[in-house]
Amino acid sequence: MSIALVILAAGKGTRMNSDLPKVLHEIAGAPLLVHAMKSGATLDPEKTVVVAGHGFEEVKAAAQDWDETADVVLQQEQNGTGHAVMVAREALEGFQGDVLVLYGDTPFVQPDTLTRMIQARGENAIVVLGFHDDTAEKYGRLVMEGDSLLEITEFKDADDATRAIDFMNSGVMLIKGDALFDLLDSVTSENASGEYYLTDIVAVARAKGLSATAISCDVSETIGVNSRAHLAEAEAMFQTRARAALMEDGVTLIDPSSVFLAHDTVIGRDTVIEPNVFFGPDVTVETGARIRAFSHLEGAHVSLGGEIGPYARLRPGAELAENVKIGNFVEVKKAQIDEGAKVNHLSYIGDAHIGEAANIGAGTITCNYDGVMKHKTNVGKRAFIGSNTMLVAPVTIGDEAMTASGSVITKDVGEGALALGRATQIEKPGMARKLFEMLRAKKAKLSKDKS
């Protein structure tokens, strides 16, 4: 059975107190919306429709940045979850399979849970995902009779007996596609909120002789983000889970609670991550590497045996081959660094290619930006760049070439050549002593005049 995802993301999220639409606030470097889309994507959907309203253009851009095939439809006014799904009708024209409704602000629904919903579908026209919770008052209540779901009653509309039910609606719902819009056509807004409730399709379906059921999942999967405090809690939950998963996969985290992972961080077995390391999105670290304390990585690839940090910064496009060493206070951006090369201290390497086993001395800078354009630096194999060399790009240093420390290199250096690009040293015998005497005399005179 093919699946279409409908992700509801039109709400404003007033309690976030933000100019940014709620679903674009991030957990582990990805918008809440993308977490929901990723989770749904594990079902290999035929179609993905995102219903957006507040901040439509921004939400659309974020959705399509992650999945360019996603349809993003506009819900001009937020007249309820049922109304939101109706807005997706046109985008689903001609689609034959089942429709899975997810919320853009509910990031943690697990793929296994979605699979269990599909397994529960069978003859049921609707499968609702519920959770047990006896404190959460505001949720819709799932009214069950055995395995049958009779109806969902919103808290506002429920009597005391129904409010006492501890089986809550998470909002995630799987619906037989060819029945969905007929069911929605029968939904009215005659309720306490004056909204079209998606939840009402359960009672409508039963009245039409169709059946519905609900399955349950852990409450941690269904948490929605409504405020900055929730966002921080959700981040913490994500991090706890992601750290545990990495350790399970054979990665050593010396102090797990101080390592921050992105939603897509990949780290190989037997790699060691020291305390206080931050991973932004799109980082892959292969096996047997070591990321030392206080390093910040983003959009980077570290290969087998790489050693990074302490205090290193790898920015997008840092592509490090096997056994590369990047030391303290080194920044690498958009640079290919070949096998065994070393950049050990206080350097900036940007828009560059560093050849294998090259040694980049302390304080080396690739001067890649002329104020308008970026230019490339090439350093050959086994080249030796002396400390404090300024490599003024575009510039190429040949294989096994050397630059003298303190050089400003503005022209290409041939293979095996030594380039000196600094003022010639001159020496004035005895001059230092003379200078000191002069200065001391001056100081003595000054303090005498004062007193």
Please list the active-site residues: 345
Note the helical H segments in 285-379. none
Q: Where does this chain bind ligand UD1 (CB under 6 A)?
A: 8-11, 51, 75, 78-81, 83-84, 103-105, 139-140, 152, 154, 168-171, 197-199, 224
List the end-to-end C-alpha distance of the chain, in Å, as a whole number. Answer: 98
Q: Residues touching Ca ion: how many (CB under 5 A)?
A: 1
Q: Which does 162 bind (CB under 5 to 8 A by kind): ligand UD1, Ca ion, none?
A: none
By beta-carbon proximity to Ca ion, the closer residue of 47 and 141 is: 141
How much is the CA Rg of the chain, to the nearest whole Å? 31
We find the least distance from the C-beta atom of residue 141 to ligand UD1, in angstroms, to be 8
By beta-carbon proximity to Ca ion, the closer residue of 224 and 317 is: 224
The pattern of x and - marking residues 402 through 441 that bind Ca ion according to CB under 5 A reads: ----------------------------------------
Q: What string of DSSP letters covers 377-407?
A: EEE-TT-EEPTT-EEESSEEE-TT-EE-TT-
The β-bridge partners of 428 are: none
Q: Mark residue 123 as left, alpha or beta (left: phi above 0; alpha: psi -120 to 50; beta: remaining).
A: alpha
We find the least distance from the C-beta atom of residue 14 to Ca ion, in angstroms, to be 11
We find the least distance from the C-beta atom of residue 151 to ligand UD1, in angstroms, to be 11
Q: Which does 126 bind (CB under 5 to 8 A by kind): ligand UD1, Ca ion, none?
A: none
The β-bridge partners of 4 are: 47, 99
The β-bridge partners of 129 are: 215
Q: Which does 276 bind (CB under 5 to 8 A by kind): Ca ion, ligand UD1, none?
A: none
Q: Which does 168 bind (CB under 5 to 8 A by kind): Ca ion, ligand UD1, none?
A: ligand UD1
- For residues 296 and 276, is the Cβ–Cβ distance under 8 A? no
User: What type of residue is 231?
Assistant: L
Of 202-241, binders to Ca ion (CB under 5 A) are: 224
We find the least distance from the C-beta atom of residue 72 to Ca ion, in angstroms, to be 21
By beta-carbon proximity to ligand UD1, the closer residue of 213 and 323 is: 213
Q: What string of DSSP letters covers 176-245?
A: EHHHHHHHHHT----STT-S--GGGHHHHHHHTT--EEEEE--GGGS----SHHHHHHHHHHHHHHHHHH
| Residue showing the smallest CB distance to Ca ion in the complex | 224
The structure tokens listed for 373 are 């354009």
We find the least distance from the C-beta atom of residue 390 to Ca ion, in angstroms, to be 56
Q: Which does 221 bind (CB under 5 to 8 A by kind): ligand UD1, Ca ion, none?
A: none
Q: Which residues bind Ca ion (CB under 5 A)?
A: 224
